[in-house]
Every structure is written in structure tokens, then in C-alpha cells.
A and B are shown apart, each in its own frame.
Chain A
Amino acid sequence: MKKLTSREDLERLREKLKREAEQVKRWVAVCSGPGCHVHGSGEVAEAFAKEVSEQGLEKEVKVIATGCHGFCEVGPVAVIFPERYCYTRIKAEDVSEIVSETLKDGKVVERLLYTDEASGQKILRDEDIPYYKFQQRLLLGQHLHIDPRNIGDYIAAGGYSALAKALFDLGPEKVLEEVKAANLRGRGGGGFPAGIKWETTRNAPGDPKYVIVNADEGDPGAYMDRGILEGNPHSVLEGLIIGAIAIGSPQGFVYVRQEYPIAVKNMQRAIDQARELGLLGENILGSDFSFDVKIHMGAGAFVSGESSALMTAIEGRVGEPRPKYIRTAVKGVWNKPSNLNNVETWANVPLIINNGADWYTNIGTDKSKGTKIFSLVGKVRNTGLVEVPMGVSLRRIIFDIGGGIRGNKKFKAVQTGGPSGGVIPESLLEIPVDYDELDKVGSMMGSGGMIVMDEDTCMVDVARYYINFLSDESCGKCVPCREGLRQALRILENICAGRGKEGDIELLEELGSFMKDASLCALGQTAANPVLSTIKYFRGEYEAHILEKKCPAKVCKELISFFIDPEKCKACGMCVKVCPVDAISGGKGLVHIIDQEKCVKCGSCFTVCPDKFNAVIKLSGEPVPEVAPGTKIKKKAKGEKKCKK
């Protein structure tokens, strides 16, 4: 494509691309996000391309492999436009029928539609599926129209118009005013107002100034940023260029973790394409503004996502935090003023510039504006990425959108904010999700991980999990974090192993408050949150572990035993077969018995015992009953079979 040297060039290109798009009668957006990819969307997209060409439909039908649509649970997903018919759990074998029926003739393939669990009805359009109905997909919704490898799709969908507006209509001061007025708050964890940070960097002495995208996404169990970078890299890039205009920066960086190879690739391609079109580089769109971007890959360290650590890493040194007597906004990369924002924060910028701060502040709550993407995972029925306006309740997200808990279990808690956040119990499910409300209850918004837990989740184990993670990821530079985490981990491990002592809970609380006050960076300062919040809401569970040597959720390995109920065992032999250590004995017609000495508590027998028997049970805090070897199984009472039919 030819270099664009004016705003008019860009608009002409957009018109041309739109006209081309109108030639197409129908198009299918095949989700190729992380969830669908794992479910085999690659083969599905290939099958679509092949089938369309075999049926000779290339002129009237277009296939695009898009970024994440959100509903990972039922992937691979495809949406067919303009009708918005949504097919779920597609296999490559289904594609030929979809092409000949729907893409060619607009007829629906019933069996591939989503079935609503409550009503049992098939749902035609994606927007009517409960999972999507309660969302407001300002960012994720764009994914359905864009092949992330094609800048043309982004431009046709209105892309880079905000950049042109910022360059030619607004200018740096007004861009800054708009972002400040929109009260855009950082999506990476802290929720600091982006406009204020931009202004600090803009006014700080020293040149050049840098703008940086934080795509380190180290929170385990969260993939919002990956979803955006893979699905719509240009939205982040456009936001970054606009930020550079406001701040007066000639050079940007995208810090992205190497564990996300597709995100790295798509972002690099986006940068190259934008540069080729004159949207990056010297004299952007013919203006006197010049700006370029470089990708820097992170090598796998949670703490390197912290702002001062990240900037040290960009300099090519180990990504460890430093004391922030002077903020990175003033002295960052190579001691120059540097503004760092999260992927999602940047992606919101073009929306604000295009639609204005007034429009933006209409969405959300008093102090938290716009939408937020969450990765809804864990024991929830519908796993996926969810984008909702700030202020909706946790209940709406988990139950109306997420469909509640899997497998008829009971909800126990939801964890937000990743390793820096905390758990929230059922009694607080009505609170509106915004920065301040989550802080109030001892958790935090964080970057958007939302891990749903059911009655089978042990809260002490959850605390141990996070502390183990953090202790592994602590850089070790400051003593409170390094040693505090090590001691906390030891105490938690003891409690989980049945070696907890009275006073351990109080000791954990004391350690926690000390780490909060004395640690160098936010990793240590917030590290106690998972412990303190689980103690706050589930103290009883800690006490059961310590005093009764019992794990109420039956998770902690050292505190549970597996037992086969002689009343229920039907001697099917499934458990005998899977036991990796041959700890289960019992022949035909005989009750199977687990040798507690040999058992390694892997849980394989528990998993394979057929649901209709449910003979393998977990015990905790009580002795394992003796069953004599050679005990015969209970036969069905006479007539039982007949009645059951």
C-alpha cells in the first residue's frame, strides 16, 4: 500500500476499503483467540478457506480469522455476518455444511447454535446469548470485524480516525484534556488516572520522553491483554501514538512477554504495517509529528511487570524494581520521563478521542468510568473474557454471564486482583465492581483476573498457592518481601500439612501488616492480601486445619484419605485399573479396598468411579473405617431393577 501523507489520503483509503467490503455478501468471523485455538479453531478456519474456494464462493463470501470473541467455553466459535448467526463448538467436518447452507443461502444449521440452558431454546444471534447479552463489548466487540494481521480491516472499521483527529483537530493539550476529563483509570492494577500520569511526564524536565505499553500480563489465570494484543493490536498502537502526541514523545516501547508468541507477532506486524502506511515514523500523515515504536520481549518474571522493573528491563538489565523516591513518570527509562500504561488502558484511548469524554463518562460509576475486561475462570460454568461497564455486580458477572458454578456445586468465593488481590465471599456478591468498592472489601480490581471458587476449593490452600507463587517470583532485593514471604509460606505449608499451631493465624496477620509497610515495591506491599482476605472471610477454615487437623473442602493432601464405601461399591474394577501404585485390591464381586499405606492420594480412583456409584469418597478429620478383605458387594435388592425400568 502507498504511504499516506495526509488525513485525506487516509479517508480515501478507508472509503476504498469499505467499498470493497460491501462487495461481499456474507462473511464469517472465525474466532482464533487463545481458547478457541486450543479447541482446534486453526483447522476450522483452514476448512472454511478451502471450502469457500471449492464451492466457488470467493467473490461473495469472506472468511476472517479474528481475535478472541470472549466465549472460550464453547469454542471454536464463528459468527456469520450480516445476520450475526453464532455457531459454537464447530468441528472441521461441520464447515462444508455451514458454507453451503449459511454462507451461500443464509439458512441456519440448527445443531450448531447455542442452546440456552435455562429455557432449552436454541439462540440464533451471538448478541442474544446470555453470556454476551449482559456485556458491553466496546473493545472485544471490535474483534469480530478485524483480521488482526490486516491493517486494512482496522482502517475500514474506523481505525486511525482518532489519530487523525488528535493530530489535526485537537493537538496535544486538548488530547490531554480529553483523557483527563474522561477520567480513564489504569487497567493494569492500580487504577491511577492516566491523564494525570501523562501530564506529569509531559511536564517533567528531560528529553526524549518515552511512552510504553505494559503487556507483561503476569497474573496467572488472566489473559485479557493477550486477547486484545492478539485480536486488535492496532487499537493499542493507535492509543499509544495518541498518547505520544499528548506527551510529546518520539519513541515508544511495547513490553510483551515472550510466552505470548502470537501477540508478539501480531504486534510486530501491526507496527510494520503502520510504518509502511505512514501512520508511524517520520511526519505521521504528513504532519510534523514523528514517532516510532519498538517491541521489547519479557523473559518470564512476574515482578518485571512492575513499572520501575519493566523500565530497567528495557535498558537491558535485570528487571528488578528500584525505590521510587522519584516516580518513573519523571525518571524512567535511562532516567528520562517515561509514561507506562497497560494494554487495555491504551486500547481505550482511541474510543475516548473518537467519541469524546462526555460519552465515555456516561459509562460506569461515579469514580470508575468505561468498561473493564475480566477473565472469568475457575469453577464457573462459562469460562471466557467478559467486558462489562464498571459498576455491574459480581453476581451479574458470575451468575448471569458466567452461568453460575459448574456441576451443581455451591459458590464459595471469587478471587479478584491476582496475587495482589483477595477473595470475596458470597455475602458480598452484590457489590458493584469498580476500583474503590473492591478495595473496600480487601481485594482489588487488579488487571482483571476473576477466579471463581466453589465449595470444593480450600481457602487455606488458595492462600498457600498465591504465597508460593509470590515467594517464587519475589526478586529477593528487599528483606521484608523475600523473608516475609518465605516465612508465610512455611507457616501455610505447615497448616495445610496438619502441622499448624495455635497462634499461626495471628502470626500471619502480623507478618502481613509488616510486609505491607516495609516492602520496596507493590509486589511485597500487597502480597499479604490473599492471606489476609482468606483469614478475614474464612477464619473457620484455618482453625479447622489447625485445631481439628481437618480440611473442610477436602483438598489438602496430608489431611485427607480416600475410602471406598462398601455399601456403594459395585466392584466394577475401574479404580483398580487406574491406580498408579496398585494400592487397590478386590476381585469380581468383592468390595474394592484402598491400602492406605500405599495410597499416594493422586485422586485417580475418585475421578474414575462412575457417577452413578460415587463409591470413592474423601475423608478428612475422621478415621478411615476398616473393611475386611473379601467382603462381598451389596447386590441390588430384588425388584429394584424392574421399578427403575
Chain B
Amino acid sequence: MLKELQEASQMSQTDVLLKGLEVLGDYVAAESGESSLGEKLRELERVALQHAEEIRKIRKKEDVIRELVKELKDVDKIIDRHNCDPSALIQILLEIQAEKRWLSKPTLMWVAERLGVPLSRVMHIATFYKAFSLEPHGRHLVQVCLGTACHVRGAQQLLNKVTMALGIKPGETDSDMKFTFKTVNCLGCCALGPVVMIDEKYYSDPSVDEIKKISEDLE
């Protein structure tokens, strides 16, 4: 019967059960007034809720696995483009980084497995180069240039100003995942220095207020 109900209502099994309990509870409370039955039902409801919570958790796990499979499939595409060539390891990681904006642990393990190189070597590369991030990035990237030209023109002050405006330090991502704040060695636009790049745009020595305004205007 449960199955029929479920099909008819397009609800999940748990939801049907919960709905049924709800109806029963209403009925009992309104009609019979018998307290022990009511209590039993409430007890049952509690247990059912707990089950539902468990099931939801499992479902989350399912989602996670589904996402993971998707992620690894994307990674596979990149690996296949390089014919599974271990000498292309750095190039492969760069492409994954560009697509996903970070390298997750399962990704790194998968790359090691598929290329047949030890995970330690993959980790060595992923931690050695500046381009790789082992944590997810925020939606926007803020980069203060610390090239020599910018340095002599006051990059350190600019760095302080950006830190103050965003409330996070270089290397950090804020809790809303809005900004990741980094320093770079040279953006190659020395004529504008000191310079901060926010996503694709360059700003020449903005004030704290200006940075705040720019950051607030972003989604």
C-alpha cells in the first residue's frame, strides 16, 4: 500500500510515512482523546523523524558521491586529453586548477592513480607551485602585486589597506566564500603601481574606502 501511495503522490517513502503519521495524529487528537494512543503516536513520530534524518544524511552522502563522480569524470576528460601521460602531470593539474579553481583530495588521489605516479609526487607538485590551491577559492579573487616596481611605490601600504577593507589577511578566504585574498610577485603592469587586481580589473593604489566600495558592489 505504501508503494502505491508513494507512486500516486510522487512523494518519497519517508515523506508518505510522515504525512500518514501527521494525519493520524490530528485524527487522534481531535476524536478519541485517548492520551496513551496519542503518546504512542508521538513517540512513533519522533522515531520516524529520526529515521528520516538518517535517510536524509544518506541521501546527502549519495549527493556527495554523485558530485564526486562528476568531478572525477571532468578530471578524466583532462587526463585523457593528455593521453594519460605522466610527464604531463603539471599541465594536467594546471588545467584542473583552472576549471575547478582548486585541487580536492580525491582529485589528487585520482590523478595519481590514473597516471600511475605516487601520490607523494602529486602532492609535492601541488604544494610546490604557487598556482595550485588546496582549498576552495572564494567567488572573487583579490590580488595585490608585490613586484619590485610596486614595492618601491608603496605596495606594503596597499596590502595593509586591502587587509583592512576586506577584513582578511593575504592567503585567506572569508567565511562567506566571497573573496580569496592573495599576493602575487608581478602582474606586469608596473606603470600603474602599486596595483591590486580584483577579478579581471586593475586598480591603481585605491583607498580603503574605495576598496570597500568595490568589494561591496560585487555579488
Contacts and interface: CB of A to CB of B under 8 A. Distances in A.
A466 B186 CA distance: 13
A376 B47 CA distance: 74
B88 interface: yes
Given A220-B147, A258-B94, A259-B184, A383 B161 contact: no
A37 B124 CA distance: 35
Contacts of A469: 185
Contacts of B195: 38
Nearest to A456: B152
Contact of B129 (A300, A384, A557): A300
B88 A316 contact: yes
Contacts, number: 137
A345 B86 CA distance: 31
Interface string A368-399: 00000001011100011000000000000000
Interface string A597-609: 0001011100110
Contact of B148 (A220, A320, A604): A220
A315 B157 contact: no
A457 interface: yes
Contacts of A317: 89, 121, 125
B101 interface: no
Contact of A379 (B85, B90, B152, B202): B152
A318 B188 CA distance: 25
B49 interface: no
Given A415-B148, A469-B185, A378 B94 contact: no
Contact of A580 (B153, B164, B186): B164
Given A378-B152, A462-B152, A223 B190 contact: yes
A296 B125 CA distance: 15
Interface in B145-166: 146-154, 156-157, 160-161, 164
Contact of B186 (A221, A258, A604): A221
Nearest to B165: A580
Contacts of A379: 152-153
A604 B161 contact: yes
Interface in A572-619: 578, 580, 600, 602-604, 607-608
Given A73-B191, A301-B128, A457 B152 contact: yes
Nearest to A261: B98
Interface centre among A220, A297, A379, A449 (most CB of B within 10 A): A220
Contact of B149 (A316, A319, A377): A377
A222 interface: yes
B185 A220 contact: yes
A192 to B, nearest CB: 25
Interface string B59-86: 0000000000000000000000000011
Contacts of A383: 149, 190-191
Contacts of B90: 296-297, 299, 313, 316
Interface string A294-308: 001111111010000
Interface size class of B (residues with CB under 8 A): 35 or more
Contacts of A602: 157, 160-161, 164, 208
B128 A318 contact: yes
A469 B156 CA distance: 14
A314 B192 CA distance: 34
Contacts of B125: 299, 317-318
B131 interface: yes
Contacts of B207: 578, 604, 607-608
Interface in A15-56: 34-35, 37-39
A75 interface: yes
10 closest Cβ contacts across the A-B interface? A300-B130, A299-B129, A221-B148, A377-B149, A316-B87, A377-B190, A383-B191, A220-B147, A223-B188, A299-B131
Given A35-B189, A299-B129, A580-B161, 8 more contacts: A38-B202, A297-B90, A299-B90, A299-B130, A300-B131, A316-B85, A378-B149, A378-B153
23 contacts: A34-B189, A35-B191, A38-B195, A72-B189, A72-B190, A72-B191, A260-B188, A296-B90, A296-B91, A297-B91, A297-B94, A299-B93, A299-B130, A300-B131, A316-B90, A320-B128, A377-B148, A378-B153, A383-B190, A465-B151, A602-B161, A602-B164, A604-B161
Interface of A: 34-35, 37-39, 72-73, 75, 218-223, 226, 258-260, 296-302, 304, 313-320, 375, 377-379, 383-384, 415, 418, 449, 451, 453, 457, 462, 465-466, 469, 475, 557, 578, 580, 600, 602-604, 607-608
